[in-house]
Structure 1
């Protein structure tokens, strides 16, 4: 779970495909993460081969256990408990990667998975979150804030807590791996034909979303998938070599789209890595001295409201405060 009070060194992570894909690159894994705005068949088919779904939701404490599925204490796959706050994003990724057969990965991740093989979920979680290199990779796109409100006597506000879990196929069944639960959760078997495990996952996730108030946008969904770029490049080179320019035209559009997406991720990640507090402070001081701070504030509020409205229309989660 991700909360607002933690000193273990793990920082909050955005539910952003660029952040997750950069983490996967650091881990040496040839996969990417994409936003998934719909669970309809067309959207899911466009992302194949798809290995897992990462689900982010607002943590709501309930007095009764409304969990669907059944605990599987004998789950033979990779499952690690979350033992520190703010690590749930990376833990969800590892709980997915650890159950993908013959997955290529970097030496550090390979050694970590091999070292934790056979451990119980609690011990495995302790080992994972004690890995300095993994924590640094996790935190690399979540720089600490340079602004501290300590000592100002301001009332503390409790922020909403959000949590990442993963849904994936394993040995003919759909599993939910939630680091805060004692065991992996089995959601039943699925039909190997048609959409396969994704059909069962759609049902489970939609039922879970239905437990929230109508119109709630307190969740997002990400797809862990094969990186399509190498395949597109190879197919395009083959078509162009064969002189099939008409067929190659469609792949050129796909290639440009994928390249543009990665350029955007790289730019956004470069902004995340840089601490802009000093620059912002200087700009605010300059605006105040020029008597333009109030008008700039009102203009910024209007832009923010417009962004929130657009995000809600796309089904995205965005805080207006």
Structure 2
């Protein structure tokens, strides 16, 4: 963690649907986030209604002009700048949910939104990232930074920086909301018929992905959508009451899959909140007491050397090859 990170108090967040969904839940927002592996019509149809796409990419600096679209300095919606490190995930969420009309939200979030009404993007970003309860909700889903390598004299290695932005509809246009840009970027109007704003957003996102080398894994895409479980439960009850058991069985499978996904997310988030330093210390002490620590250390070194060799064979860089 850098000095700037320590001063801001905001920790890194994973690009994980369970993390985003839990954050939305803590904000009192009845939406969920799902991974997207395809932008084809069939895949997106299963996720409707969609409110926004959250795009993660490797940040390499930004030019004064957008690569596509046009800045809209008069954007009338909600837009906040990112003014501290590591807050881009929550800023992306705020920029998205702040532009969904009539969205239900918790009292603290509602008060924060009202408080920032009329502020310019820079001031709004400062107000948001100065919110202690929001920072705590964000950090609650970040793995504990319990072990620091600072001060050990280890060689410094460069780390890639990744950034979250949002694509969503607003007043008939598809907008790109990037907290590191001075204004939202308008990508133009879209047709209300057919897939609506999703078709336009697909064009913009696919054009951006096409700028990466073939097979690149330097980005990911998430979908911000309505929580499907309440609707599935209502539909299932209706089908069962009318005796349509075949259709009910199919719907029950979907509901079971969604519930299993939530259980997995809850388990993974519980792991993120746990500090494993005491466990690791106890295991190392037990290995040392039994005389197996040196053998375990040698085995770990061999495993690491094998991982480094495989990454070199694939042409990938390594963080530390010693």
Q: What TM-score do the two structures reach when normalised by structure 1?
A: 0.90
Rate the CA distance shift 1:62–1:33 in 2: closer, same or farther, 3 A: closer
> In structure 1, what is the equivalent of residue 298 of structure 2?
294
Alignment of 1:2-81 (within 5 A): 6-7=5-6, 8-61=8-61, 65=65, 67-81=67-81
1:4, CA displacement in angstroms?
9.0
Alignment of 1:1-321 (within 5 A): 6-7=5-6, 8-61=8-61, 65=65, 67-287=67-287, 289-290=291-292, 291-295=295-299, 298=302
Show structure 1 runs of 5+ residues with no match: 309-318
Q: Does the 8 A contact of 1:3 with 1:159 survive in 2?
A: no
Q: Secondary structure at the match of 1:212?
A: coil
Q: Secondary structure at the match of 2:9?
A: coil
User: Mean Cα displacement is larger for which, 241-250 or 290-299?
Assistant: 290-299
User: Mean Cα displacement is larger for which, 2-11 or 254-263?
Assistant: 2-11
Q: Give the CA RMSD over aligned residues.
A: 2.5
Cα distance between partner residues in 1 of 2:84 and 2:113: 19
1:298, CA displacement in angstroms?
4.6
Show structure 2 runs of 5+ residues with no match: 312-317
Q: Does the 8 A contact of 1:53 with 1:224 survive in 2?
A: yes
Cα distance between partner residues in 2 of 1:21 and 1:31: 7
1:59, CA displacement in angstroms?
0.6
Deviation digits for residues 167-197 of structure 1 (CA, Å, limit 9, x no counterpart): 0000110000000000010001111111111
Rate the CA distance shift 1:110–1:66 in 2: closer, same or farther, 3 A: closer
Q: Does the 8 A contact of 1:305 with 1:320 survive in 2?
A: no
1:83, CA displacement in angstroms?
0.4
Rate the CA distance shift 1:301–1:271 in 2: closer, same or farther, 3 A: farther
Cα distance between partner residues in 1 of 2:308 and 2:252: 35
Q: Secondary structure at the match of 1:6?
A: helix
Deviation digits for residues 124-170 of structure 1 (CA, Å, limit 9, x no counterpart): 00000000000000000114311111221112222110000000000
User: Mean Cα displacement is larger for which, 285-294 or 43-52?
Assistant: 285-294
Q: Does the 8 A contact of 2:157 with 2:319 survive in 1?
A: no
Q: Does the 8 A contact of 2:144 with 2:274 survive in 1?
A: no
User: Mean Cα displacement is larger for which, 146-155 or 221-230?
Assistant: 146-155
Equivalenced residue count is 310
Cα distance between partner residues in 1 of 2:141 and 2:253: 30
Deviation digits for residues 81-136 of structure 1 (CA, Å, limit 9, x no counterpart): 00001000000000000000100010011111111111110110000000000000
Q: Does the 8 A contact of 2:54 with 2:165 survive in 1?
A: yes
> In structure 2, what is the equivalent of residue 314 of structure 1?
none
Q: Secondary structure at the match of 2:258?
A: helix
1:56, CA displacement in angstroms?
0.3
